[in-house]
Structure 1
Amino acid sequence: MKFFTAGGMSILLFISILFSTTDALSQNGQVTVNSTSGTPYSVTVKITPTQILRSSTTCLNGYNYNVRFNYQITYSGTPQGNLYTHQVEIICLNNQVNGFYSLPKAAANSSGTAQTSTNPFVPNNGTPGQYSSPYVHCSAANIYTFNCLTARLIIHGPGINSQTIPFNLGNPLPVELIEFNAEAEKNQVNLNWSTASERNSDYFTIERTRDGENFEEIGSIKASGNSSTLKSYQFTDYSPEPGISYYRLTQTDFDGQSESFEIKSVEVKSSQVITNVFPNPTADSKANVLVQKTNQLVELRLFNVFGQLILDKQIDASNGQVIETIELPQNAGTYMVELTQQGEVVGR
């Protein structure tokens, strides 16, 4: 306050200063909002951009895009009810706003993947197919080149004032995964994945489990290190388990940090647990028959070209794949190996 003198009278003038208070804390790609009235509780929202979704792959005259991201919402305390408003805006190159206006409002922990819907436009520099900083050609569009490092959370709910909270997103994921697929084909499972960009990416690990919990590593593939172009990878599981198995893809950085992606389930039917015969053709009177692991006894039968039975024996592969060496007749010719389980042919 200040004193002023006017006409011999002292006038006391109060100067009112409004202080803004915050009921939110942001750090490391997440923001925590605390209730200010009623039963105490808080909501923590974590946003991680993962991919730039381009509207074009040629983009001669510019292109639109949206941002795919992962979200994680965590409640603590006793929520007073569902949120009224729960939205996020991700800020990318040249301060373009990418809005998503349907974050879950239910007062429960949740996580998932979503994408923005506001379609900002990236213009060329006046020449078809050419772009000037800060804009980039669509072939180089990724989380790093688009500088998606900040966001705004828009939230309102019981005991939580309506507010817009800016926060830093932190470092984006080292790998921008486009797809990961697993598919059974006869006696093997083919796994394929592709990335739009990679940063300090050392290698990928492929794991498998039957129970969905206890994973075992079955292989690894060297990653591309640093890349802003499409990279494709492939791995084949030549000894799949019969029935339903779950495959997990994990990426590891040069510094040892790792992240795992969505788990894929694959069913290998009993008719797909078939045999491989090698060498084929063979120069001597022996051949090896590879029988995949199966919980039921396998009957192996050998026929000549006239359909005559030459050999009939049972194989127990319940503890893992078995390589069975069979004696062939001395006569040169063509022979057929047949595997059956409970009368059903499962391999030829």
Structure 2
Amino acid sequence: MRFNLIVWMLLLPGFAFGQGQTREVSMCKSTSIRLRAESSGAHHYEWYRNNELVIGSSAHELVVSEEGTYNAFGVNEDGCLSLESIKIIVKHHKPTAVDDIAICKKNIPVIIDALGNDVAVCTALDAGSLVVLQQPANGAVTTSEGKFVFTPATGFVGDVSFNYTFKDKSGLTSNAGTVRVQINTDPLPVVLTFFEASKRESLADLEWATSQEANSDYFEVQRASDMLHWTEIARIRAAIESDDARTYGYTDSLPESGINYYRLKMVDRDGSFAYSKIRSIHFTEFSWAEVYPNPVEDILQIIVRNKKIRNIRLISNDGIVRLSRQVTDPAFTISMKQYPTGMYYIHFEQEDGAVKIFKLMHN
């Protein structure tokens, strides 16, 4: 068994009260994580999984490899129990099926690479596990080499959808993803040959190409974190009329932590539009913010990554609050020339009161 060390603190401050909170942590199947309880005055600990006592575990650490809800109690030398610790819900990283949009012409089958933007954190996707949950009403779906082949019903024009799941190589099943197919009669204003998204450090690079554009106006680059609420993050002017291959690109410099979904809205000059396939990129948890340069002489650049941050305070080493402001923009600057040189502390404050402190040297 692989051992993946993750220390999760279950703080039990004394024997007067517990924390009454629940936290979730995910791990890969066939790995383990280490839970740690700490309580002043505790002689030993009682560990519980799904409200059942874990026999033979009384140390302040517990190594777990199974899903479940874990919590602990501290026991002092007199046998008195602390109140309940926070609860840790341990789950396996299940693969994620990301919704897709495909476009085809009337009476012409289309191949759909649904797995192309799906996500498996721990192991590779199992292409042979692709399953259609229910056939659509106006067409038929088959699988071939890890892809779907959708054949529209004869003469049908409109939208259809179907759901699917897949497994990763560890045998875990994904959520149900949805494929929506737009069946058109007229040729599209833009023939999109590819649309790809790739990760470059903390940036998301998007690139797409067309082989033909007829009366096209612009490309609207959209991003979502939940597949439901799409936001325009850029608008790229199209070529209007072109029979030549053209390549376009855009870099998202402020993606979200977790999965970022991207799609193109291809808009014609008469207002009609169609969507591209959806692409996704997964970013691990970003730090709360990026602060640079450090040391700094004049202009301090700040990029806020944590969307829960509502306020920032700049405090000098003597405890004086030099600046306090609300965070209304994820990227901003502070002129440090107006403040004395020395050590500073930048407090990033969440709406729930949590604070992250960055140390800064001002020369």
TM-score computed with the length of structure 1 as normaliser: 0.41
Larger Rg: 1
Could you tell me the TM-score, scaled by structure 2's length? Answer: 0.40
